[in-house]
């Protein structure tokens, strides 16, 4: 005896995926930069040095005197000589008044008045040591510096960003199927 049967045969669906990956490109251009350093401002002020040389004493030592100095010396010497002469005449007058005392004042005074006095001579330095006077004022230097700040210019550049999104496409490669067969559904009549 044959029993009725139902036969089922199925195939699952077959799908395919077409995937395109996302792409991304990022590029960062360098920034444009400009740096300038101005020179510092320098101001220099100088007062000149001063050298003073006074050689008046050295010139006087070698007998190169100014007229004013010579007149002053002659006046001073004349005054001193006048005082000495007055003193000598007063002394000699007193000696003559006392002639009766011992001695011979006329002969002694004649000898004193006729002879020139001995001038002392000694070795000396002409001009004398340290007769030239030096005075020196050094120069003064005033330096003023004004620093200058650097000039910095920067141009920022944005990044270049390119992005392509990915996508996925689903395809049906094979459809699902269901086959149904009936066997021995209707028994056959025997003859």
* Comparison of pLDDT for 133 and 117, the residue scoring more: 133
Q: pTM for this one? A: 0.38
What are the tens digits of pLDDT across the range 21-40?
999 999 999 999 999 999 99
Instruction: Count other Cβ atoms within 10 Å, centred on residue 71.
Output: 11
Spans of all domains in the chain? 13-114+131-181
- Of the chain, the percentage scoring pLDDT greater than 90 comes to 42
Residues 6+ apart with CB under 8 A from 191: none
Neighbours of 154 (CB within 10 A): 10
Mean pLDDT value of segment 154-180: 90
| Cβ atoms 30, 157 nearer than 8 A | yes
**Choice among 75-79, 144-148, 184-188 with the minimum mean pLDDT:** 184-188
Confidence at 123, pLDDT banded by 50, 70, 90: low
């Amino acid at each position: 005896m044959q029993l009725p049967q139902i036969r089922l045969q199925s195939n699952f669906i077959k799908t395919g995926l077409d995937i395109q990956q996302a792409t991304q490109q990022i590029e960062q251009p360098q920034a444009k930069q400009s740096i300038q350093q101005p020179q510092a401002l320098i101001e220099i002020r100088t007062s000149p040095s001063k050298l003073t040389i006074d050689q008046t004493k050295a010139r006087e030592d070698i007998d190169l005197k100014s007229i004013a100095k010579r007149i002053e010396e002659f006046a001073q010497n004349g005054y001193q000589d006048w005082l000495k002469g007055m003193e000598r005449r007063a002394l000699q007058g007193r000696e003559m008044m006392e002639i009766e005392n011992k001695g011979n004042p006329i002969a002694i005074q004649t000898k004193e008045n006729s002879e020139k006095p001995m001038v002392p001579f000694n070795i000396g330095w002409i001009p004398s040591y340290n007769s030239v006077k030096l005075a020196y004022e050094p120069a003064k230097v005033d330096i003023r510096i004004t620093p200058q700040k650097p000039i910095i210019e920067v141009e920022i550049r944005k990044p270049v960003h390119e992005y392509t999104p990915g996508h996925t496409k689903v395809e049906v490669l094979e459809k699902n199927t269901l086959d149904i067969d009936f066997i021995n559904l209707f028994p056959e009549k025997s003859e």
